[in-house]
Amino acid sequence: PGFVILGLGFATLVSLGSLPAIHIVTDNVRIAGVLLEGGFDATPSIKTEALLLWSGNRGVASDLFARVGSFKYETYFHRPCTAKQANIFVQVDGIDNVVDHTWLWHADHDDCSNKWPDSISAATCISGNGLVVYGDRTIVYGLQSEHTMQDQVYWRGNGGKVFFYQNELPYINPYFRRPGYNFGMD
């Protein structure tokens, strides 16, 4: 318990399969300056785990960004300009966690196409929820969630708080009928 994950220069961690890029299971973890990217090829029949799955308690995440989109860069594990998937960007299951400044983004434009709004990212990438909270007493400062194809925020934890929420619904989908913020009991 009690370790730090610090991304210098906004380190990008790409989830290569349906498993999380980061899974925190211990308490008192600090994570900051990290960009999480959905790297799983879009497959509607398969559900991916959250890019960040946070089961530990009493931790802090600062400057945490997550995205799914189609991007030109190429590595041995990333084919350029392919549709990607992330069903949940960040999921907080632990209690008493704090999230400070996060941007959770389903790309509505990309560097692979100039045909906006019919970009590869907007039209064929798959996303679900930006933030899912089951943990009690979660506090979030500066929550930004944009364009995901399910509820931008799905909150079921008790006693939590959000200070500043910015949201853009997926405006390129005329059939989108989900709330930007879904709070309540199942």
Q: State the pLDDT at residue 116.
A: 62
Asked whether 22 and 52 are in contact (CB, 8 A), the reply is yes
User: Is pLDDT of 173 > 80?
Assistant: no
Q: State the pLDDT at residue 115.
A: 66
Band the pLDDT of 9: cuts 50, 70, 90: confident
| Nearest to 51, CA basis, from 103, 93, 13, 98 | 13
- Facing residues of 6 across strands? 32
Q: What is the pLDDT of residues 122-172, one digit of tens each?
A: 888 999 999 999 999 999 999 999 999 999 999 999 999 999 999 999 887
Do the strands 40-41 and 84-92 form a parallel or antiparallel pair, or are they unpaired?
antiparallel
Residues with Cβ within 8 Å of residue 125, at least 6 apart in sequence: 38, 42, 68, 69, 70, 83, 84, 85, 106, 107
Q: What is the pLDDT of residues 71-89, one digit of tens each?
A: 999 999 889 999 999 999 9
Q: Tell me what the pLDDT averaged over the chain comes to.
A: 92
